[in-house]
Structure 1
Amino acid sequence: MALLRVTPALWEGRTRLYVSLANGRHVAWYDSGGDGGDEARPPHPARSGHPARSGHPEPNHPDPADPYDPPDVREARDAREVGDPRGAEPVDTREGGRPLALDAPGGCAGHISLVFERYRQAVLTVLAPHLTGAWTIGPPPVPTSADLVRLALHPDDDLAPNRPGETIHAELDLPTGTARRWGRDPRRPARARLRAHQVLGAELERLDAAGWRVLHAVPLPGADRIDHLLIGPGGVFAVHTVPAHRLRLRIADPEIQAGRRAPVPLLRLTRGRAERACSALATAVRPVLAVVGAARLEVLGAPGDVRVLRERDVASFADLGAVHKPADIAALHALARDRRTWLRS
């Protein structure tokens, strides 16, 4: 008997249920939330006349050879997992005397992606309590062009693992010298900037549930960077972080003044980074100025082309009108996460 377990996970803003063996190998996954496809629901155990259990895999549908196991290990595993199929009670796939179209094509939402055909019955049984609405079952969807680009991307060129304030982490690793002996920590300003990047980055990543993608610390030629690149249904945004912990911030285009410090032309810098992102991605990119931790924010003559907000206002991005489709978002994210894309910006 195949002992399967169901593990929930968040994938591209949707709930995905992974069905795996005891050794961790995934045999199927279910993406919920779709309405397409032919309805294919196994009957309730009380109606079918037999108790719910994990079921047995079908012996007539051998799965492809696993490249990670040698033949002798694979044969031993198959003998251990399959057991005697004669005592298996198959899952009823008929409702009202009508056979259900289990292999109807469908998208990812409301679709069970079956990796190994011989686990079909067992997968349907363990997922039965979690299935809602109409759904289909069949092989995993064919990878899109964005998926292929992502799979071919070298890890050194992948920007997706970057943390908020990635370059600041390197600054904090530098030796402090003798300044520490006199009670001064030269890394304190860097820590404050890092906290601001982390707070804003966490708020941006919460938009994942609404279909948004975010990249942190996107490097630009000339030792410059985009603090956060936000890609989603409402468009593409180059976000510049302004750490202002307990400070009064005054914005008068193109300058920003924090407390009693000298004004700095950050709006000009923010616009320039958005223009470079627009050139690299070949799509419209809007500049955003995100103020983190300010005690007071004064905007004197709000710039029309730059979106100014606080960290608590990041959730408003989810209310923007639809500009990009999910396929466009995936393609732009795949292009933006490639470090080589930014060499021409």
Structure 2
Amino acid sequence: MDGLRVIPTWRHGQERLYVCLPDGASVAWYDREAARVSLLSDDREGDVLDALGPFLTRPVTVGPPPVPTPAELARLSLHPDDDLAPNRPGEALLVDLERAPGPAHRLRRPDPRRRALAAEQTVGAALDRLDGAGWHALHSVPLPGGDRVHHLVIGPGGLFALHVLPARRQRVHIADPVVTLGRHEPLPLMRRVRADADRASYALTAEVHPVLVLVAPAHVTVAAPPRSVRVLTDEELPDLSRPGGVLKPADVEALHAMARDRATWARL
């Protein structure tokens, strides 16, 4: 078949090559990561593979498009404005800083929002690296009333609601429910961490474990193991993905599809 064109596109951060007729109609597509060519018509297989020849660097599976899972169908039906998956780490802080950036120079007291944003970006980057291991991370998940879950992590080891505390070069002392950061006033932060996880559990109808993440602390002391809250530094975040066997891949995808829908959280 003459005139087939190969058009590269990016979909959810992954490259996909479409094979199209001169009028733009697609006859097949090639997913590099999955090494799969999906054909819309079997009688065009030879022409499609000839067109894709310069782009194929390894053996591929050829066949009809895979049947979408229920989770994929739910994602495809989700309006872009209601999809939380594109949220950047610290999305709410980024928006707030864009609307009200504050003074250009603050010599004595840096804007605390920027410290919080840097901490959430550090944690978000670490979590996004877990994606290839079957984990999904959602950032800055909004809750009714103006609160938010800094990061929600879903994977084979379960669900985790992460609250991030910037602690660069400061000592942290934890005596549940109080957290003391350097010379700052002690705050009952553990109650907030547990409450956010409880709200996430209610929204997703699944157990969500609370986690407090300390970013770049100088030293951490814990008077006694906090009730139900796991305490990690940003360097220990890879430990979060090591336990497995709690959720099957299909359950992970279904929970991720539910969690990325803004309407799930609006019902709280």
Indicate the TM-score class for this superposition, using the shorter chain for normalisation.
Answer: 0.7 to 0.9
Equivalent position to 1:152, from 57, 60, 77: 77
Superposed, 1:156-235 pairs within 5 Å as 156-175=81-100, 183-184=106-107, 188-235=111-158
Is structure 2 residue 139 aligned with structure 1 residue 138?
no
Q: 2:210, 2:229 within 8 Å by CA — same for their partners in 1? A: yes
- Against the structure 1 CA distance between its residues 11 and 225, is the aligned structure 2 distance closer, same or farther, given a 3 Å change threshold? closer
1:323 aligned counterpart, secondary structure: coil
Q: What's the CA shift for 1:266?
A: 1.1
Provide Cα deviations, 1:260-310, integer angstroms capped at 9, x if missing partner.
111111111111111111100001110011111111122221225111111
Q: What's the CA shift for 1:166?
A: 1.3
Q: 1:274, 1:285 within 8 Å by CA — same for their partners in 2? A: yes
Letter paired with 1:318 = S
Q: What's the CA shift for 1:116?
A: 4.7
- Against the structure 1 CA distance between its residues 186 and 258, is the aligned structure 2 distance closer, same or farther, given a 3 Å change threshold? closer
**Structure with the higher fraction of residues in strand conformation:** 2
The 2-side partners of 1:163 and 1:234 are apart by 23
The 2-side partners of 1:317 and 1:114 are apart by 39
Q: 1:226, 1:238 within 8 Å by CA — same for their partners in 2? A: yes
1:249 aligned counterpart, secondary structure: strand
Q: What's the CA shift for 1:112?
A: 3.6
Provide Cα deviations, 1:163-186, integer angstroms capped at 9, x if missing partner.
111111133134467x668x5587
Q: 1:2, 1:122 within 8 Å by CA — same for their partners in 2? A: no
Is structure 2 residue 27 aligned with structure 1 residue 29?
no
Letter paired with 2:85 = A
Structure 1 unaligned residues grouped into runs of 5+: 33-108
Q: What's the CA shift for 1:6?
A: 9.6
Letter paired with 2:93 = I
Q: What's the CA shift for 1:19?
A: 3.7
- Against the structure 1 CA distance between its residues 229 and 296, is the aligned structure 2 distance closer, same or farther, given a 3 Å change threshold? same
Aligned position for 1:20: 18
Superposed, 1:1-345 pairs within 5 Å as 1=2, 18-21=16-19, 27-30=28-31, 111-124=36-49, 126=53, 129-131=57-59, 135=61, 137-175=62-100, 183-184=106-107, 188-345=111-268
- The root-mean-square deviation of aligned C-alpha atoms, in Å, is 3.0
- Against the structure 1 CA distance between its residues 215 and 138, is the aligned structure 2 distance closer, same or farther, given a 3 Å change threshold? same
The 2-side partners of 1:8 and 1:174 are apart by 32
The 1-side partners of 2:29 and 2:154 are apart by 29
Identity of aligned residues (%): 44
Q: 1:4, 1:19 within 8 Å by CA — same for their partners in 2? A: no
Q: What's the CA shift for 1:123?
A: 4.3
Structure 2 unaligned residues grouped into runs of 5+: none
The 2-side partners of 1:224 and 1:119 are apart by 53
TM-score of the superposed pair, with normalisation by structure 2: 0.84
TM-score of the superposed pair, with normalisation by structure 1: 0.67
Q: 1:18, 1:26 within 8 Å by CA — same for their partners in 2? A: no
Q: What's the CA shift for 1:187?
A: 6.0
The 2-side partners of 1:26 and 1:216 are apart by 36
Letter paired with 1:328 = D
- Against the structure 1 CA distance between its residues 326 and 123, is the aligned structure 2 distance closer, same or farther, given a 3 Å change threshold? farther
Point out the structure with max Rg over C-alpha: 1
Aligned length: 261
- Against the structure 1 CA distance between its residues 340 and 128, is the aligned structure 2 distance closer, same or farther, given a 3 Å change threshold? closer
- Against the structure 1 CA distance between its residues 171 and 254, is the aligned structure 2 distance closer, same or farther, given a 3 Å change threshold? same
Q: 1:192, 1:243 within 8 Å by CA — same for their partners in 2? A: yes
- Against the structure 1 CA distance between its residues 26 and 7, is the aligned structure 2 distance closer, same or farther, given a 3 Å change threshold? farther
- Against the structure 1 CA distance between its residues 166 and 128, is the aligned structure 2 distance closer, same or farther, given a 3 Å change threshold? closer
Q: What's the CA shift for 1:129?
A: 4.3
